[in-house]
Each structure stands twice: as C-alpha cells, then as structure tokens.
Chains A and B, each alone.
Chain A
Amino acid sequence: MTDLTVKLPGLDLKNPIMPASGCFGFGKEYAQLYDLSQLGAIMIKATTVETRLGNPTPRVAETASGMLNAIGLQNPGLEKVTGQELPWLEQYDVPIIANVAGTTMEDYVEVAKAISQAPNVRALEINISCPNVKQGGITFGTDPDVARELTRAVKEVSSVPVYIKLSPNVTNIVSIAKAVEEGGADGITMINTLLGMRMDTKTGRPIIANITGGLSGPAIKPVALRMVYEVSQHTKLPIIGMGGVTNVDDVIDFLSAGASAVAVGTANFVNPFVCPEIIGQLPERLHELGFDSVEQLVGRSHRL
C-alpha cells in the first residue's frame, strides 16, 4: 500500500497535491466537476482587506507552453471571504491554505489575523510575490529585510502556521528564503510567476493591458525546479513546490528536487480534472519507481 500522506506544519495532507492560488478561485467552479475532498489541500485566491477590482483587460495572453496573466488580485475582500467563501468550503473535508495579500504591512497583518481564525484555514500563504500589482505584492518579496520583517509581523498575529510565497523575480532567491526563515516562517511556497510580456505583432503594442504579466505553465518548470532545488539545500523549511506542473512525473520531479508537496496552477485551465487525475496516478507511479511513500521521495536528488 503506497502512502500518499504528508505532514507539514498545520497541514495533515491525505496526498501532496493541491491547486495553486489564483488558479482555482474559491473552489466553487471546480466543485461542479469533482469532489473537492479528494484534494490534499486548496490554496484559495488571494484575499485583501477591501474588495479589489484588479487590472483592466486583456488580462491573459498565451505564450509558447505558457501563459501570461495580470489579473491584479481581484477578490471580494476579507469580509466576504471569511463570511461566505470559507464557510461554503467547510462542506468539504479538505484543509484550506489562505493566500494573504496587501499593499501595506498593516493590510497583511489585518487579513492574516482574521482569516487564520476561520475553522477550515490550516495555514496561511503570504503573497509577497505577485508581480501584477503596483504597490505591495512583489515589493515585499524582493528585499530580504522587508520580507523578514513582514514574516515576523504576520507570524505574531496568525493562529495557524505561516508559509511565505517566494518570487522568482529576484537575483538571489536563497537570500529571501533565509530571511523569511529568520523571520519565523513555518514553510515556503514557490514559485510565483515570472515577470514577462508579449507583443501584438501587428500593432506593436503589448497584449496585456497591464503591459507586463506573470508567466506560468510548463515553460517555467525548469526555473521552478532549479529554485526549489537551491532553496531546499539552504533552509530547513518545508517547501510546497509549484511552477509548470501538469502531470504525475512533474510532481515526482518537484518532490525529488526538495518539495514536500506540490501545487498545480495553470494546468487546471488546460485540464480541469488534472488534480484528481494526478492523485489517482500517483500510487502506481511511486510503485513503478520503487517507493512506498511520498515522503521517501522528498529531496532524493540531494542524496544521490
């Protein structure tokens, strides 16, 4: 019997697969397609203090084996997320990881304090890496001192473990990872999207209204793997890895590189059943590779 369970701070996962924040809304749409209780966890869409409208359209553009997006953290705001979205998700036996965003440190603290008290929220994912908002977001994730300070502030008010979502848009991701570890983070999620752009060849204008967008999809998997590999060697923090995961072998790769669990993002748009499909295939694939449990795979590349 293959053991898919994973134990992480705050998270007792029945399997290591979860949809990534921003790619799954608050679960309602995918609940029309399958039972959400099958998932290891759900990382819900970023929540800010106030209702957020997000960026003008077009917000997405396709690229070679990837997509650019600049949604701009559109969400109904803290009150609606804690009052409506999270209670609705309680009907499913699945831990929720709440993604927290803001424009000031006070915003992050306010959302983290309130949302961490929701009964089904078992961990926070602090979004210091969104490339699509002018204030906040990535500005907190590119300076180690600021990232450390923000982690401390959020840890102080959160009643559940805190994971910090790292940006790949930095020169030295290890220094940011070490900084959030010093700040008291319980874990790391990585990576967020890579800043990119695409032009309309006919007009010469950028396609995305925000000019730039975050690149995701299979195109970024090599970058994400390299970063998980590096960070996992330099911190003790558990990592939830993501970036271009589309199938069961991608999951094996991320676990091998040092991730303890894996999130699936853009692939949900390509195949809305991708998460349950991967979960279904994982036991056989592990068995074929000679493993009895997911945990045996974590960081195996470092032991070879």
Chain B
Amino acid sequence: MIKQERMQIIKQQEIAKHIFELTVQGELANEMAEPGQFVHIRVADSFEPLLRRPISVASIDLEASQFTMIYRAEGRGTQLLAEKRPGDTLDVLGPLGHGFPVEEAQKKAYLIGGGIGVPPLYELAKQLNARGIETVHILGFESKQAVFYEDKFRDLGDTHIATVDGSHGTQGFVTHILNELPTDFDTYYSCGPTAMLEAVQWAYPQKKGFLSYEQRMGCGIGACFACVCRTTKSETDYIKVCSDGPVFPAGVVIS
C-alpha cells in the first residue's frame, strides 16, 4: 500500500563522488516488497524546488523498518537532500511502481547496471541470492571516483566493473564486458541510461530480460500522464513509467 510518511533519517554519507547513501526509518519501510520500486521525496517544505524527487531503493531492512537509497547530488533538489542529517525527518511517498520480478530467474541471472541505475540492483541481488539464484553483476561507472558498492556486490557474486575513462576495471561500457562473458544465464535484469538498456536488449534478443526505465515525472502515481513511453504492444497507447513500470519486460518499451 502506498503511504506518505515523515521518515527519520538514520544515516547519510557520501560513498563516491557526488554519490550519497541515505537510510531512513519508518512504517513505510514495511510496505517495501519488490526490488526496483522507488519512493517520491519532498526535499523541502517550501515550494522551491516544487516537485518531489523519484529515488530508487537500494536495500530494504524489514526487521529494522529501514531502507537505503543511493542518489547522485547533481540538481537543486538532490543537493538539498544531501544536506539532510541523521535525526532530520523526510517527507516520503511510496513504495511506488512495479519492480523486478525475482521469481522469473531460474538458476543464474545477469544484473547489468549503469551509474545511478546500479542501486536498485543491489536489493535485487540480495533477494535473488536468498532464493538460491547465482547472480553475476556487470556495473558501469564514469570513473573510479564514481564507483560504489563494488565490495557489497562481490559478496553476493561474480562482479565486473567498467569505467568510461578506464580508471578502474575494464575501460569502456558494460557492453564491452558482456561481449567477453558466457551466455549461460537464463534471465537478465538491467537499470541505467536508456542507451545502455537498448544495447543490452540488442545483445540478448533470445534471453528473458527486465529493464528499468527513467522518465521525467510529475505525480509519481500515474495520474498526470507526464512520464509515458510508447509500447510495442499497442499503437494507440502509452505506458506510464511511474505506475506501470519502472520495470518492464525487454521488448515492450519503444525508447
């Protein structure tokens, strides 16, 4: 069920260049179910900035009624969010959207992420591992300074890192790593820039895949029709990223 709650900030720290990890506590955390869902955060009680910010959930701790988000502080809203401190409260609406279907993987899954698309894959990896699925993580970042959670992913499975400038791991994009890896997996999950999602889809046309998309949002719950995408299923309809997604099966979204 969607809730709006003033959640308490438990932890906030910069874990890579301009990348922040933020943990909050409250009842709303108990509603979290699927990896890949997101929350909509009001970063200021004033009207500047006005709209909420959609932020993906990186890990869920149901026992402690907490969840953790990882975001890049780059615009006015996320910079204000980065100024919040433990003990402060935060206006959170969520959980929103439909996440990655963990039950679709059989034995081995590839988790492919780019930049700020990496965080939701961490909770996904945890849940897949808990179900006995082997996970391989292929993660792309701009540079070594932007890399985060490498060790945490390694604890859960084989992990490969690509950086655009080659300062860490393989130089280039995640597709450079994918070209070198076997295709002995049954399901892939991906989150990141649309161009990356396209490339991943092209790389594995025969495989079952699930992709998480991004789009500018208004309401975050499906009422405003701002965050739509065209779909291969119908010429006369759009799908809404916020409420129909953000995760869609591969081959559905026309980007």
Residues of A bordering B, CB below 8 Å: 22-25, 28-30, 32-33, 45, 51, 53-54, 57-67, 69, 71, 74, 217-218, 246, 266, 268-273
Contacts and interface: CB of A to CB of B under 8 A. Distances in A.
Contact of B224 (A25, A32, A61, A217): A25
Contact of A25 (B42, B215, B223): B223
A269 B51 contact: yes
Contacts of A58: 215-216
A62 B47 CA distance: 11
B219 A29 contact: yes
B212 to A, nearest CB: 17
B89 interface: no
B226 A62 contact: no
A29 B223 contact: yes
A66 B227 CA distance: 18
Nearest to A50: B236
Main secondary structure of the interface of A (DSSP, over half): loop
B1 interface: yes
Most buried by A among B51, B52, B93, B229: B51
B157 interface: no
B225 interface: yes
Top 8 closest pairs, chain A to chain B, by CB: A25-B223, A29-B223, A60-B226, A65-B47, A269-B219, A29-B221, A58-B216, A29-B222
Contacts of A62: 49-51
A33 B51 contact: no
A270 B52 contact: yes
B236 A51 contact: yes
A65 B215 CA distance: 21
A223 to B, nearest CB: 16
Interface of B is mostly: loop
Given A54-B238, A246-B47, A272 B221 contact: yes
Interface in B177-222: 215-222
B51 A67 contact: yes
Contacts of B224: 22-23, 25, 60, 69, 71, 269
B222 A60 contact: no
B2 interface: yes
Given A59-B226, A65-B50, A32 B2 contact: yes
Contact of B228 (A23, A51, A54, A61): A54
A268 B48 contact: no
B4 interface: yes
Interface in B212-255: 215-229, 236-238, 243
A217 B216 contact: no
A22 to B, nearest CB: 7
19 contacts: A22-B224, A24-B223, A25-B224, A29-B243, A32-B221, A53-B237, A53-B238, A54-B228, A59-B226, A60-B216, A60-B224, A65-B48, A74-B228, A268-B219, A269-B51, A269-B218, A269-B224, A270-B51, A272-B221
Given A59-B216, A67-B218, A218-B50, A268 B228 contact: no
A51 B236 CA distance: 7
A270 to B, nearest CB: 6
Contact of B216 (A28, A45, A57, A65): A57
B239 to A, nearest CB: 12
Nearest to A27: B223
Given A60-B217, A270-B50, A272-B4, A25 B225 contact: yes
A272 B50 CA distance: 13
A286 B4 CA distance: 27
Given A25-B223, A272-B93, A61 B216 contact: yes
B219 A59 contact: no
Contacts of A66: 50
B45 to A, nearest CB: 10
Contacts of B225: 25, 45, 54, 59, 71, 74
Nearest to B93: A272
A63 B238 CA distance: 26
Given A57-B226, A60-B224, A270-B42, 15 more contacts: A24-B223, A25-B224, A32-B221, A33-B4, A53-B236, A57-B215, A57-B228, A61-B216, A67-B50, A71-B224, A74-B228, A269-B218, A270-B51, A272-B4, A272-B219
